[in-house]
A and B are shown apart, each in its own frame.
Chain A
Amino acid sequence: MSTAGFNSQNGAGTGQPYSNGPSQNPVGLQQLPGAGYGSGHQSPFNLMQAKAPSPSVPGHYSPGPFQPLPPGSPYHLSPSPTAYPAPQGQPLLTAPLIGRPPSQTPPHSASSSPGLRLIPAQPTPPPPPAVSSSSYHQNPLQTAAPAWHYNTSQPTMRSPAPMILPPHGPVANNVNPAASLAGQSLPPPPLSSAAYNTSPPSPHLSQTQSQPQGLGMPPTSLHGYGQPGSAPPPMNPMAPHTYQPIRPAYGPPPTGPPPPMRPTPPPTGPPAASGTPPPTKADGAVAGNGPQATNSYNHVDSKMAGLAQPGPPGRHLGHYPSLPPGYQNTSGPPAPSPMHPAMQAATQPYTQAPQAYQQMSGGPGMAQLSPSLASMSLQSGTPEALRVVNLLQERNLLPPTPISAPTPCLTQDLQRINCSPEVYRCTLTSIPQTQSLLNKAKLPLGLLLHPFKDLSQLPVVTSSTIVRCRSCRTYINPFVSFLDQRRWKCNLCYRVNDVPEEFMYNPVSRSYGEPHKRPEVQNATIEFIAPSEYMLRPPQPAVYLFVLDVSHNAVEKGYLNVFCQSLLDNINALPGDSRTKVGFITFDSTVHFYNLQEGLSQPQMLIVSDIEDIFLPTPDSLLVNLNECKELVQDLLKSLPSLFQKTMETQSALGAALQAAFKLLSPTGGRMSVFQTQLPNLGVGALQSREDPNQRASAKEIQHLSPATDFYKKLALDCSGQQVAVDLFLLSSQYCDLASLGCISRYSAGNVYYYPSYHHQHSPAQVECFQKDLKRYLTRKIGFEAVMRIRCTKGLSIHTFHGNFFVRSTDLLSLPNVNPDAGFAVQMSIDENLVDTQVVSFQAALLYTSSKGERRIRVHTLCLPVVNSLTDIFAGADVQAISGLLACMAVDRSVTASLGDARDAMINAAIDSLASYRQFALTIQQPGLLAPACLRLFPLYILALLKQKAFRLGTSTRLDDRVFAMCQLKYQPLAYAMPMIHPSLYRLDDLTDEGALNVNERTIPQPRVLQLSVEKLSRDGAFLMDAGTVMYLWIGRNCNPIFLTQVLGVPSYADVLDNLYVLPEIDSAESQRTRALIGWLRDQRPFYPSLHVIKDESQLKASLLQHMIEDRTDSALSYYEFLLHLQQKITK
């Protein structure tokens, strides 16, 4: 039954024929419309958004819950403008709280008393209570329906201008009533799916939809997150093709041959030529393509590198030269480079590339190739993910577009409603049946979650009873089975439960007796407004306490001005309601409190110098209601920077200040933001410098990665118990012992921000970065007193959690605050064999109090197939998720054991899994380093991790930088962590609009992703490296003068300033394209990557080169050497 239900549901989906076969490449499909890069993180979600009318503002994420903007979304570039609703919403945010209040209050009350809730919700009018928001807006009438209100976020999407929403922004999940109204215009029906799919028809959609039928490509892409692949073939079902995302823009989708497996041709110029050829069986017959391919490559070359060399020696073509290519650190492309210029060309879609090379290479390569060809042809039936790749021979493995998550091989019905990979990713999209099978595969099993991500559409349900399994307490979800009308079987523990009477009524269709069509059963991501049973105490108000370092060092840094200004600007955008409270504490060698009690004419400063036994001078008036005392707060913020201008106090009693702050917050809970600029050296929690600068470049062991004292950890645990989260902003150029200080945030579910060289005058780039980060920080959505429980199907269990939180029991995380930028990782183990089950499910339920004082539960459910063969496991491996999880595990290992151990463990992970693949999954043995296509980037990512700041050895790395990099790896959601692990390199001087995305009416060019090797840099070009938290724009010495004048605004190379960090706004096509690309990349993340323009002789060039992962450095292997090392270990 249930399945039937599903089908019917999806609005978009309905009616569309899903063809099984071809659909395999979902990603490709989605992209067809033109979303080029976005595909990486494709999510249907985005698509939807895209459709919405576009909000104009590109930039920031709106903190607001509903507002999509989630970082993730940006990735997805939805073609249509609307995609990002409120991005730059910041301005919006600033909108006074006042606007919000009306909506807020109601919800609040509603939540507190269930009874009330129901009723009020009904009111259709826009202004309505937040609760109402929950009602589905689509059909106003429906809303009237009794208890249930669903809010599909659709409205939001549609809402023309996100701008309007602003007030909501901060509000956590509430749907914007206004938005909802707008949304109503939508077709009422398909709620569930609607959430995701229903976006208003965009050209996009129409395109895609139409296509499918003809082409045999299922429209599925439209829907949900992934496409369900074809029906799961027993063997390797779906090889998710993720890797070869087609670049939509280039090939008009329709024309492209439907062959699922085929990646479409590479985007760039040559596309037509090169693209078409490969089509044939990927695997085998490359036949006639050879020449064409070559041509195309050359073409590319000439275009890109400007090299004239036409005919490179054949032998270089297909495979690596026997010696590793020269690793020139020099700038331009080495002329003598052994590689064919073609290789230098931007990456080609990998499938093609190799083949083409193989063909061409007449000589030496042939013999070796033949076996692989043979095997390929034999396996021609196998999915793309399993195509055997000889890593030693295929150089250009990197797909030209971002990599997307593989699609689990589930039936389309299940896949369509499955949870978005942006929220939930599993390292193995096919779960092994037994632990022994998992051990054999040598791949880690785990989940990467981004549970509180800003979602563009989130159905919200208000109902008096939340249906849950009676034994395991699982929330009802799309993957349960209905035995009949009145009973459902839990998909986690298999208990049969009754369907409560209320659940029989479907508010969406206003029909009775169709429990399987309710939104809870139609959406893998859903939010409930929790009744009072889910509260241990009345929902807390939003409480923000700022703890500021005002010692001499801090004043010197000059961060106070920026902080106070940002807070003044955003004070109305702080998420909260009429109960919001704020407070301030400053400290140097003493602790200063500020009495902001209403009625005072100006803030009163109270100094406590007894730091050994800190106490609160006036407990009542230090935390004040923001709305009532706003003027005093503003006064204080204006006077604070000047207050300490002359201070000569150099000591820092951070420990005492934290204790005081904890005392202040403990009755309510809330968020504590700590700004620290030096090593705390006074009173409790004092630390000593442990770093020996001479050891920074040590190739041996790195000491002091673990905390020096447990003071901060204990305090964090106390905070966690009182629902207080501590966010740490560390602005210090000196050693601050982040390893110890970081504990305060780590165990209280806070964040750590680190600005190592911050100075208000000397490092404008960091100041900008700090400003932007602060703005996002202050205005983003926030959830208080949260807990997250992760449940999984019986037989699986949770082994370890990674992230910032406190683990309160085996599956429960205590998160005093939860924010939309927090990611979590979970290692799983298989306790019992999953022999009788076809699919397993994972459910993450996040219970939190929104800033409006509503108790809400956000539930994500992911369903994955169970397989019993190693081949299938390999076919379902998600290389990015695996790398992300391994990084988390390696961080733990470096702290508990040693960095060397952690590095060895990562290398062993690569060796073991590839060896296991060779031994068990490969039918034909052949020489070389073989990997399935889905894991072909695995060694590259491992190498990238080894060269990452967190794990590198032998390169001078400050201890705090290293520890911070480790924190980031554990804490950042995968989508943000990937660029930090493996940066992307683009060529900027020849940007074209070809294949560009359209976001918010801005055209965003989509250059190819180049390999990270100096040989890709050419002296006559300009290249952008996006390394996650920082971007480098490298200008070649002979850079195209047009680029210099039109983008950088300087007449010649010599005039480029050395520390340029902002691109001038020049009204030229080149400048606009460049800025659009950089702006778009920035918009994809919640933090603000600063841009550094680098010339050949710049000091920063070294840091750029450190990111050139494929090159050799003094202390680390080149990619090719690394592969040889792996091969040696594997064959041994």
Chain B
Amino acid sequence: MAFTFAAFCYMLALLLTAALIFFAIWHIIAFDELKTDYKNPIDQCNTLNPLVLPEYLIHFFFCVMFFCAAEWLTLFLNLPLLAYHVWRYMSRPVMSCPGLYDPTTIMNADILAYCQKEGWCKLAFYLLSFFYYLYGYVFLTLVKRILHCSVKNNYFNNFFKAIGSHCKRVKEPH
């Protein structure tokens, strides 16, 4: 009971978000390299394109998990990004392979700037959500557990001394 499905979702999201953060960083680096002439756009697109769908799918996956776990607030926070992903993929250029980036247009200053900005925004979002999931996980697995546990559970007594009294009060009705 202690380890609920919701907690599991948070834990999984935590791990996956860490992965997404790496994706975002990779993305930022790749566009920076493009901008500074280090890479050929064809190569760069070939490395970036295969990563696009996995990223979107991962994000979609834990959105579904949160939906199942009825974590409405978390789901709500993620919906805008989910919608953005759907829109972005729908409006991709004509391509026969999966991915978003077209080597012939990617060097356009507007598109390059847009992609860079997108990378930074996503990185920020994933970082924030990483901490949010961490909080959510801790809250669910630890705090709630404490709330629900009997006082006997000494293990956490010291740890949560500060809220100990509160716990007791809460506990008494039971």
- Residues of A at under 8 Å CB distance from B? 706-711, 713-714, 717, 721, 747, 797-801, 806-812, 829
Contacts and interface: CB of A to CB of B under 8 A. Distances in A.
A427 B110 CA distance: 20
Contacts, number: 52
Interface string B52-89: 00000000000000000000000000000000000000
A714 B94 CA distance: 11
A717 B95 contact: no
A807 B110 contact: no
Describe B's contact surface by its main secondary structure.
loop
Nearest to A713: B104
A1028 B95 CA distance: 35
**The 5 nearest A-B residue pairs measured at CB:** A807-B107, A809-B37, A799-B109, A710-B95, A800-B108
Which of A708, A747, A801, A807 is most buried by chain B, counting CB atoms within 10 A of its CB? A807
B103 interface: yes
Interface string B30-70: 00001101001110000000000000000000000000000
B35 A721 contact: no
Contacts of B93: 706, 710
B35 A807 contact: no
A799 B110 CA distance: 7
B107 A810 contact: yes
A706 B34 CA distance: 25
A808 B40 contact: yes
Contact of A810 (B35, B96, B102): B35
B22 to A, nearest CB: 26
Nearest to B113: A799
Contacts of B96: 709-711, 714
B109 A710 contact: no
Given A710-B93, A717-B104, A829-B109, 10 more contacts: A706-B94, A707-B94, A710-B95, A713-B104, A717-B42, A797-B109, A799-B109, A806-B103, A807-B104, A810-B35
Given A717-B42, A721-B42, A809 B94 contact: no
Interface of B: 34-35, 37, 40-42, 93-96, 102-104, 107-110, 112
A810 B37 contact: yes
A800 B110 contact: yes
Contacts of A717: 42, 103-104
B68 to A, nearest CB: 37
B109 A798 contact: yes
Nearest to A747: B104
Contacts of B112: 810
Contacts of B95: 710
A809 B109 contact: no
B90 to A, nearest CB: 15
A713 B95 CA distance: 9
Nearest to B95: A710
A706 B42 CA distance: 20
Nearest to A718: B42
Contacts of B94: 706-710
B93 to A, nearest CB: 8
B15 to A, nearest CB: 35
Contacts of A797: 109
Contacts of A808: 40-41, 107
15 contacts: A706-B94, A707-B94, A708-B94, A717-B42, A717-B104, A797-B109, A800-B110, A806-B103, A806-B104, A807-B107, A808-B41, A808-B107, A809-B41, A809-B107, A812-B37
B46 to A, nearest CB: 11
Nearest to B108: A800
A812 B37 CA distance: 9
A971 B94 CA distance: 22
Contacts of A721: 42
B109 A807 contact: no
Contacts of B107: 801, 807-810
Contacts of A799: 108-110
Contacts of A810: 34-35, 37, 107, 109, 112
A786 B37 CA distance: 18
B34 to A, nearest CB: 8
Which of B41, B42, B107, B112 is most buried by chain A, counting CB atoms within 10 A of its CB? B107
Nearest to A827: B109
Nearest to B40: A808
A65 to B, nearest CB: 30
Contact of B109 (A706, A709, A800, A806): A800
Contacts of A811: 37
A807 B41 contact: yes
A798 B94 CA distance: 26
A196 B94 CA distance: 48
A345 B104 CA distance: 50
Contacts of B35: 810
A811 B34 CA distance: 11
Contacts of A829: 109
B164 to A, nearest CB: 59
Contacts of B102: 710, 713
B116 to A, nearest CB: 13
A706 B91 CA distance: 13
B94 to A, nearest CB: 5
A339 to B, nearest CB: 46
